[in-house]
Amino acid sequence: MAENNFTEIAIKAKCASKKIASISGELKNLALINIADNIENNSQKIFDANRIDLEQAQILVQKGELTKSTFNRLKLDENKMRDMVQGIRDIIALDNPIGKVLLKRELDEGLVLTKVSCPIGVLGIIFEARPDVIAQISALAIKSANAVILKGGKESLNTNKAIMSVIQDGLNKTPGFPENVLTQVFTRDDVAEMLKQDKYIDLIIPRGGNNLVKFIKENTKIPVLGHADGICHIYIDESADFEKAKKVVTDAKTQYPSACNSVETLLVHKNWGRKKELTDALEQNGIKIIYNPESWHKEYSDKILSYKEVDSLEDAISHINEYSSGHTESIITENEHNAKIFMDSVDSSGVYHNVSTRFADGFRYGFGAEVGISTNKTHARGPVGLEGLTIYKYNIEGNGHIVKDYAEGKKQFHHRDL
How far apart CA 415 and CA 418 sit, in angstroms, is 9
* Closer to its own copies by Cβ: residue 265 or 348: 348
* Closer to its own copies by Cβ: residue 243 or 294: 243
Q: Distances in Å between the alpha carbon of 22 and those of 26, 67, 99, 142?
A: 12, 44, 9, 12
* Closer to its own copies by Cβ: residue 288 or 415: 415
**Cβ-based neighbours of 388, under 8 Å, separated by 6 or more:** 225, 371, 374, 379, 380
* Least distance CB 103 / its own copies (angstroms): 9
What number of other Cβ atoms are within 10 A of residue 139's Cβ?
27
* Least distance CB 100 / its own copies (angstroms): 14
Shortest CA distance to 267 belongs to which of 213, 205, 320?
Answer: 320
How far apart CA 345 and CA 262 sit, in angstroms, is 21
* Closer to its own copies by Cβ: residue 63 or 393: 393
* Least distance CB 119 / its own copies (angstroms): 9
* Least distance CB 157 / its own copies (angstroms): 30
* Closer to its own copies by Cβ: residue 48 or 397: 397
Q: Distances in Å between the alpha carbon of 109 and those of 366, 404, 407?
A: 41, 16, 16
* Least distance CB 282 / its own copies (angstroms): 14
Residue 204: phi and psi, rounded to 5, are -110, 130
* Closer to its own copies by Cβ: residue 16 or 35: 16
Rounded to 10°, the helix 242-254/275-284 angle is 40
How far apart CA 401 and CA 117 sit, in angstroms, is 24
How far apart CA 261 and CA 372 sit, in angstroms, is 12
* Least distance CB 107 / its own copies (angstroms): 7
* Closer to its own copies by Cβ: residue 46 or 122: 122
Residue type, 378: T
Q: Which helix (H) or strand (E) holds 61?
A: helix 43-62
What sign results for the dihedral spanned by CA atoms 195, 99, 117, 382?
A: negative
* Least distance CB 39 / its own copies (angstroms): 25
The conformation of residue 224, written as its DSSP 8-state character, comes to B
* Least distance CB 118 / its own copies (angstroms): 8
* Closer to its own copies by Cβ: residue 154 or 217: 217
